[in-house]
Amino acid sequence: MLASQNALRTTALLAPLIIAGALTGCATTAPGGDTEQATQARHAAAEIARHLYRGPTDTIDDYARWADDDLAGRDSPQLIGYTTYPDATHNDPFGALQLRVTVERYDGADPYVACFESQFDYWGVVTDNHAGWDDDNAVTHPIECPADAQPLTPPVDTRPIYVVPDGTDDVVVDVLTLATAHDSAADVLADVNKRMPQPTGDREVAFEPSVTIGDQQIGFAMGDADECLLAVRRASGDVEVLNIPRVLLQPGELGCRAETALRPVDQLRAPH
C-alpha cells in the first residue's frame, strides 16, 4: 500500500490535483551533510503534522486549513502545497500536505531549507507501517522542494454546519403539549418551524425536523447520529424528550427519525 501511495504521491505533485502557491523564489535544500539541521527540520514538520487533528474529516482541505491556522504569523514551517488522492478507499490516506522548513545557521551561512510531506486519513496523520506516532521518520517524508514554491492559503470553508438550535427542545415540548387531536403532522411541523430559534454560529444551518403521528402519539425528530433531538407525545398527553443511546442513532440502526420516537421504551435501550 505504501509503495502505491508513494507512486501516486510522486505523480500527484505533477498533476492538477496538487494545489500550490504562486511561484516567486525559494532556497534549495542544503546538502545532506547538515545532520543537525536536517533533524531539526524534520522534527518541526512532524510536530505540525502530529497536532493538526481537530476532528474526523474526509477531506485534505480541512487539514490544509488547520495547518494554515497553526502556521499563521510564523516564518517556518510553511505550507507550500497539498495533494488529494481521489481513488483512496476506506481507511486509506486521502491526501497529503507539503511543508517547507527553514533552519537558520549561526555561522553566517545560508539557512538550511528542506521540504517534507505527510499523509492524512480520517483520524489524522498516517505513519509508515503503523510505526509510533512520535517517530518523526514515520510521520514525515523528505521531498524535493518545488522550485520557487510560495506559501499558499487554502480555500475558505463554505460548507454548512447543521445544528439543532439552542432552545429548540423547549419549543418542541410546548408545541407537542398544545397539539390537538385534529392537528396533522404537517400542522405540528409548521408550528415548530415557525417558532424554532435561528442558528447563531458561522455557517450554521438548522437540521430539517420531521413529525409523524401514529397510535394516538406524535413523534418528533431533528438532527443526525451526532446531535439528535427526539421527542414524543404519548397517548396520555404526556410529552417527553428522549435520550437514547447514540449507537441506536447510527446508520443501519433506528436512526434519528420521528418513527424512532414512537417506539416502545424497551426498544430504545442500549443493546448490550
pLDDT tens for residues 143-190? 999 888 889 999 999 999 999 999 999 999 999 999 998 999 999 999
Return the CA Rg of the chain: 26
Among candidate residues 143, 170, 191, the one where a domain is terminated: 143
Alpha-carbon gap, residue 109 to 107, rounded angstroms: 6
Q: How many whole angstroms separate alpha carbon 197 and alpha carbon 190?
A: 14
The verdict on 113 and 240 lying in the same domain is: no
Position 216 scores a pLDDT of 93
Q: Are residues 27 and 135 in the same domain?
A: yes
Boundary residue ending a domain (112, 143, 174): 143
Asked if residue 93 and residue 224 are part of one domain, the reply reads no
109 is a domain residue: yes
Shared-domain flag, residues 93 and 213: no
pLDDT of residue 106: 83
In a domain, 105, yes or no: yes
Q: What's residue 33's pLDDT?
A: 53
Instruction: Check: CB of residue 236 under 8 Å from CB of residue 176.
Output: no
Residue 154 lies in a domain: no
Verify that 122 and 225 share a domain, yes or no.
Answer: no
Task: Tell me the three cell numbers of residue 106.
Answer: 549561526
Kindly state the cell numbers that stand for 147: 522550485
Asked if residue 104 is part of any domain, the answer here is yes
Structural domain range at position 184: 161-267
Q: Do 22 and 123 sit in the same domain of this protein?
A: yes
Q: Do 81 and 48 have their domain in common? A: yes
> Which of 143, 177, 199 corresponds to the end of one domain?
143
Q: What is the pLDDT of residues 208-237, one digit of tens each?
A: 999 999 989 999 999 999 999 999 999 999
Q: Are residues 98 and 186 in the same domain?
A: no
For residue 259, being part of any structural domain is answered with yes
Question: pLDDT band at residue 129, thresholds of 50, 70 and 90?
Answer: confident
Q: What are phi and psi of 40, to 5 degrees?
A: -65, -45
What pLDDT, on a 0 to 100 scale, did the predictor assign at position 93? 92
- Confidence at 2, pLDDT banded by 50, 70, 90: very low
Whether residue 156 is contained in a domain is answered as no
One domain for residues 103 and 218: no
Which pairing describes strands 239-242 and 228-233: parallel, antiparallel, or unpaired?
antiparallel
Phi-psi region of 259 (alpha: psi -120 to 50; beta: other; left: phi over 0): alpha
* Euclidean distance between CA atoms 168 and 223, whole angstroms: 11
Pair (64, 119) in one structural domain: yes
Average pLDDT over residues 114-137: 89
* Positive/negative CA dihedral, 142, 8, 152, 16: positive
125 vs 107: which has the higher pLDDT = 125
One domain, residues 130 and 215: no
Residue 240 lies in a domain: yes
Tell me, yes or no, whether 23 and 62 share the same domain.
yes
Average pLDDT over residues 4-29: 36
> Residue 194: how many CA atoms within 13 Å on its side-chain side?
8
| pTM of this prediction exceeds 0.95 | no
30 in Cβ contact with 112 (< 8 Å)? yes
Number of domains in the chain: 2
Decide: residue 116, CB within 10 A, 0-12 exposed, 13-18 middle, 19+ buried. Answer: buried
- For 62-99, write each residue's pLDDT tens digit: 999 999 999 998 999 999 999 999 998 878 899 999 99
Q: In this structure, is residue 148 part of a structural domain?
A: no
pLDDT of 20 > 50? The answer is no
The predicted pLDDT at position 29 comes to: 45
Cα separation, 263 vs 270, in Å, equals 14
